[in-house]
Structure 1
Amino acid sequence: MLLSVLSFFLGIVSLQQWAVLPSVWSLASVFFLALVLLYFKQKRVAFFLLGFVWAGAFSGYFLSHSLMPDLQGEELLIKGDIVGLPEYNDRRVRFDFKVTHAAVSLPDKLRLSWYYPPKIVSAGQTWQFFVKLKAPNGTLNPGGFDYEKWLFARHIGATGYIRKAGQAKLLTTQAIWQNISVVRQSLLDLLAQQKISADSLALVKALTLGDRSSLSTSQWQVLAQSGTAHLMAISGLHIGLVAGMIYWLAFQCWLRIPYNSYSAPQVAAVCSFLAALSYAALAGFSIPTQRALVMVSVFMLTILLRRHVKSLDIFAIALLVVLLIDPMAVLSVGFYLSFLAVFCIIYVLSGRLGRENRFLSSLKLHFVVGLGLLPVLLFFFQQASLVSPVANFLAIPIVSFLVVPLALFAVALLPVMPDSAAFLLQIVDSVLQFLWQVLVFLVDLPLASIVWPQPELWQIVVAMLGVFLLLAPRGIPARYMGFIFILPLILVHKDKPAVGMASVTLLDVGQGLAVVVETTEHTLVFDTGARFSDSFDMGRNVVLPFLRYQQINRIDTLVISHADNDHIGGAQSLLAGMPAKEVLSSVPEQLAAYKAQTCYSGMSWQWDRVKFRLLSPPKLALKGENDNSCVLKIETAQGSFLLTGDIEKTAEAFLIEQSDSLSAEVLIAPHHGSKTSSSAGFLAAVKPSIILIPAGAPNRFGFPHAQVIDRYNKIGVEYFITGDAGALTANFYQGKVEVESYREKYRRYWNR
């Protein structure tokens, strides 16, 4: 059974590699072929094809209900229900919205933002308001987060924001018994009133209600670096624990009741299932809870029916049910971590002879899960924790046997016995603060975690085979050869430019600028994109992941062209994650903590036979912040690049007058293609053959401006826009410029 389900799973995964969905007729043909193969008892191939067809049909249906292009940016009056728990920050509330009525055809589910709402927005409310919508749109970069994929996996067909807030109407609010989200919202509101530390409160919300929106960036960093982030996902560990405790409690109580119509195991199984169902509902039925609930359900059903089912069959049923309910679950990282962790535990516990010491067995399980997840963690996050076994050995029993039971009991008591609940939460707060101090101590140790470049898919497959060989029972021949299979993970290597050459990547940071320049042995970062909140900026979310993806562990020089948020916003997060040897800027006072120096014309240096020259600003500053942007020219053996920041016509005129040679084959468009830049004289002096334009698509400024595009067209230059093409990498090959569009090369069918 397991092999058939895995074949079905692989069929679903194979579809996710397609840039365009197969047509309906193609899927029908594949389905017919699968039926023929089933008739001839070729089950493995047939299930693979059925998985492919199921994912294709599911995805095709969803995409057929996408936002129509002519509705983008239009004000639309809609009515519907808030789904799940809204997420608040200082300026806005963000929530998923199920459309129940609209004058035009719209996707079933939207993700909306409401800036400074006049009323409290909460789960279970029905609203009518005006919105402006757009199709799913996000940045796309190597090693970065694919926001469009995330929206697709959550079945969200469009994003937007509320307009004419004064005309918004709250129509109804569902009763607490009508919607589990209302129950979650009510409990969340009660939790928010408790007098415990903010960090502990965020952890309690995550562990009881599955709401991780309050976890701070620093908390996520500690959890990731200690290898304990999985504890914040309500999964098999927590649900299995609750189910087991309720089973034991019900079993013991029923034995003492003189009523024999049903056996104690059967009654305990029903109670255990109901407890698991309730906990999963509180967590919003996330993928890990779905998998755990299915496993608990199957296991309890075998007790009710007094049947024995193999552990791997229960695992296979859980996997199949999740894939049938939502084949797009395979796009979630949590899907792989959740199922792989359980499979590793089943693998090392099944069919083993002899009994081990419980303490040693617990240590072994932590090691097994850590080793089994290592290749996958490196693939998805390019990071792995070396203190994870110790951290988990301490954290799992504390969280599982103390924090979760007490926190759940406290949450259950909040509506009826608030004083008792508050007392229990104080105990939980103290325990969590102690645990957190231990985790912080561990992650502060030298080499607590390692950052490694993303392995290729074949390296992951080979490494996982090596892991399973190492974890095989004693007596299996050559099982220590598994170390050899793991070696490809260690030998991951990214190609670097040859001596005298440079690779320039203009990252897709929306409406902003971030450029990474690589030579044979050095790295320069030019600007870092914008900062949007304490938890999200382009330095942390785009630039840093790209550097790790490229196997870069140090920044030699960081240049911040000027002080606009869309250029300097991500600097602090970037430098916190990867310090720079040298920082240059036209506003060094804003980066004084990093000993920044002023950039000015005449500064130059050489790396690996590649010359770097700052052409502007002059020591006697020009008028206007934009015109004082640092301007950098990079000269390689085969051609030049010109990075211009946000300079406008004044700085362009200065460069024409003062620079001996402005010519460069590749030009980063000044000021994102604003009509105040890219003057005809400047373009004539630079004589670019390629122009890379850092501009979001769409953006509220209308960049690149139509006049500027006309100027580019008049001189016959080829141009690329990051908002359309994703990250752009420019290299010289045999004297010609080659530009690689990340969106074009790695596009998937859900990407625009």
Structure 2
Amino acid sequence: MIVSALCFLAGLLAVQQFAVLPGSPWLFMLTTVAVIMACLRYGRWVFFITGLLWAVLFAMSRLAERLPEALEGIDIPVTGVVIDLPEQNERQTRFDFKVLQSTQPLPSKLRLSWYFPDQAIKSGQQWSFLVTLKRPHGGLNLGGFDYERWLLTQNIGATGSVRPHPKPELLGQESAWRSIAVWRQTITDRLSDSLSGSPSLGLIKALTIGDGSGISHNDWDIFRKTGTTHLVVISGSHVGLIAGLAYFLVFKVWVRFGSIRCSPQTVAALVAILVAAFYSGLAGFSVPTQRSMVMLSVVMLATILQRNSRPFNVLAVALFAVLIFDPLSVLAVGFWLSFLAVSLIVYVVSGRLSTAGYWTEMIKINWATSVGLAPLLVLFFQQVSLISPVANFIAVPIISFIAVPLALMGVVLMFGLPLIAAKLFFIVDLSLQGLVTVLGYMAELPFATINHPQPSVWSLLFAVPGILWLLAPRGIPSRWLSLVLFLPLIFTESEKPAVGSIKMTLLDVGQALSLVVQTQNHWLVYDTGAKFSDDSDMGKSVLLPFLRQQGADGIDTLIVSHGDNDHIGGAVSLLKGLPVQQVLTSAMEQLKAYAPIKCIAGQTWEWDKVSFTVLSPQHAFVSDNNNACVLKIQTEQGTVLLPSDIETSAEAWLIETYGAQLKADVLIAPHHGSKTSSTVDFLKAVQPEVVLISAGYKNQFRHPHQDILTRYNDNHSQWLNTAYKGAITLSVKDGRWLVQSLRDTDGKYWNNE
């Protein structure tokens, strides 16, 4: 059973590596091969091929739900219902919308944004909107969040915005008896009223209804650094805990007072399933709780049927059930962490000759999961919390046995017995405040976390037997030698450019600009993308994850070309997230807290036989765009020119000042390809072989303008746009420039469809 489940998993996982899904002829061939293998009784191959087929068919059905290209960017009237708790910030409200009626063939589920809404949006409301939609699209960067993959797993076929005119019309409200979403909205509203002054309101909502939007960015940083993030969102551990408590209590009560017609195990298992379903419903039946429900149902069903199965066989059945229910689960980090965590717990607890006490067992489980999951955390996040074992040892009992049970009791009682609920919430609030304070002190420790370059697959293959050997029973000899198998994982180094060469990555940051230049021993960041809210900017979501994935432990020079949000927005997050030795900018006032140096024409330096020269500004222009820092990079292979957002007048000044010295092999398109830049004279002076454009997908400014693209073509310059290519890397191979885009080299079928 275990091997069969792993073969099925391998088939599903193989499909997720495809850049394009196979067509009907391949499916027919795979089906034929599966039948032949079944006849020959090669069962493992049958499971592997069945996994391939199921993953392909499921993915095809999801991709068929996507918005047709012909409907992008046009106004479409829709009627539907808000199906989840809205996410709100100072600029917009974002929500999932189920389409009930439309004049066009639309996906059944949309993700909409309503900017500066004049009405409150709540789950269960029925609305009539005029919307503008896009196909699923997001930035694609190494180390970054794959938004398109997430939309696929959530079965969202389009994203878009609500048009202010004609005014959106509220048509009605769904009944709470027909919609779990309405119950969740009612609970969150009641919690907001009852705990309006509580600093733990966001945490209590996260633990009871799975709404983590109210947790502050500072608290998220604390949980990340201490490795306790999994404790503050409803996950498999929470569902399993509540179901386990229900099972234990019902079992004890039934043994003492229940009927002998039904066994205590059966009654307790049924109640545990119902309680888990209730808790999962509070969380909106999110994908992680769905997985947990399936796993728990399998375990409880084995209990009801009185099947004395080995734990790993039960886990294999649960794995089968989850993958059949949702084969795209393999794309979620939570899937791997949850199943591997359970596997590690089973491995270190079951089959032992002697049983330890409760606290000894807790320490052993905490140690096993912290060590065993560390390689995966490095693979997925390039970061590991060294204080995680201690932090979890403190936090798990508080969250599991105080905060979650009492908060759930408070939620149930606040509708009928609000005074008792208030007392319970007071205890929960006090315990959570104390916990966050302690974790905050721990997060400030200098050794709290370590960053590490993303490891290779082969180093992980060594680490897996190393983990099993290290966590083996005490009778296994020489367990300390298992540490040798971790060495390839620890001593991972990213490939560095040769002396005299660079590796430059133009990041996919939408309608903004950010790029990273690496020499053999130095790092330069030029612009940092946009800021969207206090908790969201490109520094946090793109730059820092990319730099960690590349193994950068600090920045030598940060250049912020000018003060526009789409260039400076992520700077503060970057400066807080990594040590930066020097900041060059023309936006002195906005970055004065970081002792910046004003960029002026003539500044120059050399790293590893690569020279960097600031060409502009020399004097102040009227436009801030024209005052941007222009940088020229000279390598042994050629020249790269970074002109930021300069426009016609600055381009003319550069031509007059530098003339033929402006020539460059690679040009970053000025001002995202705007009509106000890339003049004919400027392109004649630069004569770029390649132009790299940083622009947003279907952006409102329509950058790059078609006239500018025609101008690049007339100049015989190859151009690439991050909006359609993802992050673009310029490197050196065999002494020549090599330009590669992430969608072409690493894009999967959900990125390239």
> Which bracket does the TM-score occupy, shorter chain normalised?
over 0.9
Check the 8 A contact 1:691/1:720 in 2, yes or no.
Answer: yes
Distance 1:252 1:356, change over 3 A: closer
Number of the residue aligned with 1:622: 621
Number of the residue aligned with 1:604: 604
Matches within 5 A, 1:115-264: 115-164=115-164, 166-195=166-195, 199-257=199-257, 259-264=259-264
Q: Which amino acid aligns with 1:647?
A: I
Distance 1:227 1:700, change over 3 A: same
Q: CA deviation at 1:652?
A: 1.1
Number of the residue aligned with 2:298: 298
1:314-355 CA-partner distances (Å, limit 9, x unpaired): 211221111111111111111111111111101111211112
Check the 8 A contact 1:9/1:51 in 2, yes or no.
Answer: yes
Q: Helix, strand or coil: the match of 1:182?
A: helix
Check the 8 A contact 2:66/2:136 in 1, yes or no.
Answer: no
Check the 8 A contact 2:280/2:290 in 1, yes or no.
Answer: yes
Number of the residue aligned with 2:639: 640
Bigger Cα displacement from structure 2, 352-361 vs 732-741:
732-741
Q: Which amino acid aligns with 2:640?
A: F
Q: Which amino acid aligns with 1:630?
A: C
Q: Is it true that 1:574 corresponds to 2:574 in the alignment? A: yes
CA distance in structure 1 between the partners assigned to 2:185 and 2:316 by the alignment? 34
1:534-577 CA-partner distances (Å, limit 9, x unpaired): 12111111111111111111101101111110000110111110
Q: CA deviation at 1:477?
A: 5.1
Number of the residue aligned with 2:317: 317
CA distance in structure 2 between the partners assigned to 1:454 and 1:662 by the alignment? 37
Q: Helix, strand or coil: the match of 2:338?
A: helix
Q: Helix, strand or coil: the match of 1:344?
A: helix
Number of the residue aligned with 1:68: 68
Q: CA deviation at 1:720?
A: 1.1
Check the 8 A contact 2:90/2:533 in 1, yes or no.
Answer: no
Q: Is it true that 1:410 corresponds to 2:406 in the alignment? A: no
1:609-649 CA-partner distances (Å, limit 9, x unpaired): 1111111001x312211111001111112211111111111
Q: CA deviation at 1:392?
A: 0.4
Q: Which amino acid aligns with 1:350?
A: S
Number of the residue aligned with 1:267: 267
Matches within 5 A, 1:530-569: 530-569=530-569
Q: Is it true that 1:113 corresponds to 2:113 in the alignment? A: yes
Check the 8 A contact 1:366/1:392 in 2, yes or no.
Answer: yes
Number of the residue aligned with 2:342: 342
Distance 1:141 1:198, change over 3 A: farther
Check the 8 A contact 1:638/1:734 in 2, yes or no.
Answer: no
Q: Helix, strand or coil: the match of 2:662?
A: coil
Distance 1:52 1:88, change over 3 A: same
Matches within 5 A, 1:337-376: 337-376=337-376
Q: Which amino acid aligns with 1:369?
A: T
Q: CA deviation at 1:390?
A: 0.3
Number of the residue aligned with 2:653: 654
Q: Helix, strand or coil: the match of 1:85?
A: coil
Number of the residue aligned with 2:440: 440
Number of the residue aligned with 1:40: 40
CA distance in structure 1 between the partners assigned to 2:471 and 2:381 by the alignment? 24
Number of the residue aligned with 2:384: 384
1:348-373 CA-partner distances (Å, limit 9, x unpaired): 11211112233222111101001111
Q: CA deviation at 1:276?
A: 1.7
Distance 1:724 1:296, change over 3 A: closer
Matches within 5 A, 1:5-24: 5-24=5-24
Check the 8 A contact 2:130/2:166 in 1, yes or no.
Answer: no
Q: Helix, strand or coil: the match of 1:58?
A: helix
Matches within 5 A, 1:663-742: 663-734=663-734, 736-742=736-742
CA distance in structure 1 between the partners assigned to 2:158 and 2:115 by the alignment? 18
CA distance in structure 1 between the partners assigned to 2:466 and 2:286 by the alignment? 31
Q: Helix, strand or coil: the match of 1:185?
A: helix
Q: Which amino acid aligns with 1:648?
A: E
Q: Helix, strand or coil: the match of 1:541?
A: helix
1:452-511 CA-partner distances (Å, limit 9, x unpaired): 111122322331222122212233355444322222211211111111111221111111
CA distance in structure 1 between the partners assigned to 2:338 and 2:738 by the alignment? 41
Q: Helix, strand or coil: the match of 1:739?
A: strand
Q: Helix, strand or coil: the match of 2:214?
A: coil
Q: CA deviation at 1:430?
A: 0.9
Q: Helix, strand or coil: the match of 1:590?
A: coil
Number of the residue aligned with 1:475: 475
Q: Helix, strand or coil: the match of 1:751?
A: helix
Q: CA deviation at 1:671?
A: 0.9
Q: CA deviation at 1:735?
A: 5.0
Check the 8 A contact 1:196/1:425 in 2, yes or no.
Answer: no
CA distance in structure 1 between the partners assigned to 2:195 and 2:3 by the alignment? 51
Q: Which amino acid aligns with 1:351?
A: G
Check the 8 A contact 1:611/1:635 in 2, yes or no.
Answer: yes
Number of the residue aligned with 1:98: 98
Distance 1:638 1:306, change over 3 A: closer
CA distance in structure 1 between the partners assigned to 2:216 and 2:469 by the alignment? 39
Q: CA deviation at 1:182?
A: 1.3
Bigger Cα displacement from structure 2, 438-447 vs 352-361:
352-361
Bigger Cα displacement from structure 2, 630-639 vs 101-110:
101-110
CA distance in structure 2 between the partners assigned to 1:458 and 1:251 by the alignment? 47
Q: CA deviation at 1:169?
A: 2.9
Q: CA deviation at 1:167?
A: 4.1
Normalising by structure 2, what TM-score?
0.97
CA distance in structure 2 between the partners assigned to 1:290 and 1:459 by the alignment? 32
Q: CA deviation at 1:199?
A: 4.4
Check the 8 A contact 1:517/1:524 in 2, yes or no.
Answer: yes
1:232-260 CA-partner distances (Å, limit 9, x unpaired): 23233222222222223223333443743
Check the 8 A contact 2:84/2:123 in 1, yes or no.
Answer: yes
Check the 8 A contact 2:295/2:322 in 1, yes or no.
Answer: no
CA distance in structure 2 between the partners assigned to 1:302 and 1:330 by the alignment? 25
Q: CA deviation at 1:166?
A: 4.5
CA distance in structure 2 between the partners assigned to 1:515 and 1:258 by the alignment? 68
Q: Helix, strand or coil: the match of 1:657?
A: helix
Q: CA deviation at 1:136?
A: 0.7
Q: Which amino acid aligns with 2:372?
A: G
CA distance in structure 2 between the partners assigned to 1:503 and 1:273 by the alignment? 54
Distance 1:8 1:197, change over 3 A: farther
Gapped regions of structure 2 (runs ≥ 5): none
Matches within 5 A, 1:476-515: 476=476, 479-515=479-515
Distance 1:461 1:217, change over 3 A: farther
Check the 8 A contact 1:584/1:598 in 2, yes or no.
Answer: yes
Q: Helix, strand or coil: the match of 2:505?
A: strand
CA distance in structure 1 between the partners assigned to 2:89 and 2:547 by the alignment? 29
Check the 8 A contact 1:589/1:596 in 2, yes or no.
Answer: no
Bigger Cα displacement from structure 2, 590-599 vs 680-689:
680-689
CA distance in structure 1 between the partners assigned to 2:663 and 2:723 by the alignment? 26
CA distance in structure 1 between the partners assigned to 2:456 and 2:557 by the alignment? 29
Check the 8 A contact 1:117/1:165 in 2, yes or no.
Answer: no
Check the 8 A contact 2:11/2:50 in 1, yes or no.
Answer: yes
CA distance in structure 1 between the partners assigned to 2:186 and 2:424 by the alignment? 19
Number of the residue aligned with 2:517: 517
Normalising by structure 1, what TM-score?
0.97
Q: Helix, strand or coil: the match of 1:31?
A: helix
Q: CA deviation at 1:32?
A: 2.6
Check the 8 A contact 1:726/1:741 in 2, yes or no.
Answer: yes
Distance 1:734 1:29, change over 3 A: closer
Q: CA deviation at 1:45?
A: 1.3
Distance 1:717 1:198, change over 3 A: farther
Q: CA deviation at 1:121?
A: 1.8
Number of the residue aligned with 2:394: 394
